[in-house]
């Protein structure tokens, strides 16, 4: 069925859909320019939003700056209560939030429901962490001095988020910021701003004070707005999730004001399968890992390294499973997989597949565009015996291409896996615990997932190394990224009696 035949979603809570920015507690529709948001599956226009100017963003920064003066002094327990309210509100509106997410992003509804649960879990977690911020006491060298540390909120946080998780990539930043006592100016991706708008509405309902959360939109004006957030002395931290290229631009721009930075950037995850692994289980996990969001997650396997003795069995069994996918509009009942975000993404998958084939890769499953469903639909391609010179060994495809490379020894595969400038996630499958430990410790990635293809969870520290960025989101470390450590020394104390 053509994706164009699928009707727009019907929401129970129509208040979640608005066509505005949210600045200093007010919905702002007016602007001199507007941009359109499309359903990536059908190509239909679903919203028109203000493309905000630098002066609009200045207004949002001022609001967040003024609100910080009182927000930083709210008690952790009060902030925890607001965060808990927000968690409950997300759960109460779960189905509507999932429909909005599918509509603007293209992932299937079942996955969107999963994302909303995952996104909400950050508010629950940080409602609990808000009341658990600790310092330490220190005995300095001078025996008449005593020192201790306190953690204080950084201040106004500028947040820039991507389209691939239009809800979870936002909550993962907003929840710890609020828990720490920081205020926020958020800019979501212009392809998926509706989930951010729904969140802004719920944040307001949850009781957070006026000005503590501000949402701005931009499309053509994005670079100027990014620059403003980076250069404003009132903004104390930039937290960004997106491509490594844009991360580098933001880091350079932030140098003038020495901002605290968290950068969650691109990956190129290796998925290593040793011959002693449970092959059927590795295939199930590969399917879950590789095809979440149709290959558009930063932790998706980008390169499969399969020991040469099992490469034919692995690739054929994988292809048999992939053939069972039902690709269609995310809101269409029965679709197991949705579409890519835009036509540029389709082109990139095509380009990587073509390059690998030209360099000698063997086709196991021939995928390709599915124009009968829509311009952004693409059925998965599986290639085996891919040569190391293929582009995909170095670059993230961000789509449904499974390139399978062969290897013989542990040392060889560690070399291949680490031969990339980025290091976000990696996967290893083996029943040999010694091998698991050795490989996990040798891989140059922020996260290693052993014998499972899905590891994301609010409780684990999420983040990369190398050019995948720095900072950790979620977990016991998530709050730290939104605080500064202040050391207090008390001197000239009397000697002990
Ligand atoms: N490490 C992680 O946690 C993580 C999570 C999700 C996505 N990603 C990465 O994000 C990438 C996919 O997203 P993308 O390609 O759309 O990313 P992108 O960098 O193009 O866009 C991300 C955000 O940055 C904004 N942006 C673009 N140019 C900007 C500029 N000059 N100044 C300020 N903001 C700017 C966009 O509008 C969007 O909001 C992939 O590389 C993926 O791996 C990483
Ligand atoms: O795309 C990046 C985030 C994916 C995740 O949190 O699992």
User: In sequence order, what DSSP letters do the residues of 242-289 get, joined into one string?
Assistant: S-HHHHHHHHHHHGGGT-EEEEE----EEEEE-TTS-HHHHHHHHHHH
| pLDDT on residue 62 | 98
- Name the residue at shortest CA distance from atom 36 of ligand 1: 189
**Residue 412 Cα to ligand 1 middle (Å):** 32
* Residue of minimum CA distance from atom 7 in ligand 2: 456
> How many angstroms separate the alpha carbon of residue 480 from the centre of ligand 2?
20
If one counts every other C-beta atom within 10 angstroms of the C-beta of residue 251, the result is: 18
Q: Give me ligand 2 centre to Cα 137, in Å.
A: 37
Q: State the pLDDT at residue 242.
A: 98
Residues of the chain with pLDDT below 50 are: none
**Per-residue model confidence (pLDDT) at position 400:** 98
Q: Can you give the pLDDT at residue 1?
A: 85
Structure tokens at 433: 């615990």
Residues classed as catalytic: 264
Residue nearest to ligand 2 atom 6, measured at CA: 456
Instruction: For the beta carbon of residue 366, count every other beta carbon within 10 angstroms.
Output: 13
Torsional class of 207: left (φ above 0), alpha (ψ -120 to 50), beta (otherwise): left
Evaluate the CA torsion angle 454, 302, 470, 190 in order and state its sign: negative
Nearest protein CA to atom 15 of ligand 1, as residue: 243
Determine if ligand 1 sits within 6 Å of the CB of residue 226. yes
Cα 357 to middle of ligand 1, angstroms = 29
Check pocket membership of 246 for ligand 1, CB cut-off 6 A: yes
Whether 189 contacts 163, CB under 8 Å: yes
Kindly list the structural domains of the chain, giving each domain's residue range(s) and its CATH number in brackets, ordered by start: 3-265+469-484 (3.40.605.10), 270-450 (3.40.309.10)
In angstroms, how far is CA 135 from the centroid of its own chain?
A: 29
Q: Enter the DSSP assignment of 361.
A: P
Relative to the CA of 253, which ligand 1 atom is closest?
32
Atom of ligand 1 at shortest range from CA of 189:
39
Place of tokens 């509509």: 103
Ligand 2 atom closest to residue 169's alpha carbon, by position in its atom list:
3
**Which residues lie closer than 8 Å to 483 by C-beta, 6 or more apart?**
133, 151, 152, 153, 154, 180
Ligand 1 pocket mutation pick from 105, 219, 225, 243 by most atoms within 8 angstroms of CB:
243
The pLDDT tens digits of the residues spanning 455-466 come to 999 999 999 999
Nearest ligand 1 atom to alpha carbon 398: 40
Which pLDDT belongs to residue 495? Answer: 79
CA–CA distance, 461 with 476 (Å, rounded to integer): 7
Taking the centre of ligand 1 as the mean of its atom positions, its distance from the CA of residue 49, in whole angstroms, is 20
pLDDT at position 328 is 98
Instruction: Assess whether the C-beta atom of 162 lies below 6 angstroms from ligand 1.
Output: yes
| Structure ipTM | 0.95
Per-residue tokens: 250: 């933001």
pLDDT given for residue 255 in this prediction: 98
């Amino acid at each position: 069925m053509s994706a164009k035949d699928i009707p727009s979603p019907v929401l129970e809570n129509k208040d979640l859909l608005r066509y505005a920015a949210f600045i200093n507690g007010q919905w702002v529709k007016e602007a001199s320019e507007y941009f359109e948001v499309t359903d990536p599956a059908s190509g239909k226009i679903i919203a028109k939003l203000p493309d905000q100017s630098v002066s609009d963003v200045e207004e949002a920064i001022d609001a967040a700056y003024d609100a910080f003066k009182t927000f930083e002094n709210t008690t952790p327990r009060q902030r925890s209560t607001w965060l808990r309210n927000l968690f409950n509100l997300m759960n109460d509106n779960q189905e509507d939030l999932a429909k909005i997410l599918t509509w603007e992003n293209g992932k299937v509804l079942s996955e969107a429901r999963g994302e909303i649960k995952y996104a909400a879990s950050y508010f629950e977690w940080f409602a609990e962490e808000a009341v658990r911020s600790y310092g330490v006491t220190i005995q300095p060298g001078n025996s008449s001095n005593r020192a201790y540390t306190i953690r204080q909120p950084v201040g106004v946080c500028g947040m820039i988020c991507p389209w691939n998780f239009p809800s979870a990539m936002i909550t993962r930043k907003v929840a710890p910021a609020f828990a720490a006592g920081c205020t926020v100016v958020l800019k979501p991706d212009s392809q998926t701003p509706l989930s951010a708008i729904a969140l802004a509405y719920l944040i307001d309902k949850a009781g957070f004070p006026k000005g503590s959360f501000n949402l701005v939109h931009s499309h053509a004006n994005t670079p100027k707005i990014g620059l403003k957030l980076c250069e404003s002395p009132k903004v104390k931290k930039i937290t960004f999730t997106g491509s490594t290229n844009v991360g580098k631009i933001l880091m350079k721009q932030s140098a003038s004001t020495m901002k605290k930075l968290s950068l969650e950037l691109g990956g190129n995850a290796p998925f290593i399968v040793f011959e002693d692994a449970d092959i059927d289980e590795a295939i199930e996990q590969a399917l879950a890992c590789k095809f979440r969001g149709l290959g558009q997650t930063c932790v998706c396997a980008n390169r499969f390294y399969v020991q040469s003795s099992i490469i034919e069995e692995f690739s054929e069994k994988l292809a048999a499973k992939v053939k069972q996918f039902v690709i269609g509009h995310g809101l269409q009942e029965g679709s197991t997989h949705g579409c890519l975000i835009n036509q540029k993404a389709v082109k990139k998958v095509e380009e990587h597949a073509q390059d690998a084939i030209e360099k000698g890769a063997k086709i196991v499953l021939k995928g390709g565009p599915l124009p009968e469903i829509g311009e952004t639909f693409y059925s998965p391609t599986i290639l085996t015996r891919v040569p190391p010179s293929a582009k995909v060994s170095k670059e993230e495809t961000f789509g449904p291409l499974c390139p399978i490379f062969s290897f013989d020894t542990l040392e060889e595969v560690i070399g291949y896996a680490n031969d990339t400038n980025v290091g976000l996630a990696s996967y290893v499958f083996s029943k040999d615990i010694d091998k698991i430990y050795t490989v996990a410790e040798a891989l140059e990635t922020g996260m290693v997932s052993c014998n499972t293809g899905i590891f994301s969870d609010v409780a684990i520290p999420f983040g990369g190394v190398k050019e995948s960025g720095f900072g950790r989101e979620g977990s016991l470390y998530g709050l730290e990224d939104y605080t500064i450590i202040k050391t207090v020394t008390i001197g000239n104390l009397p000697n002990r009696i």
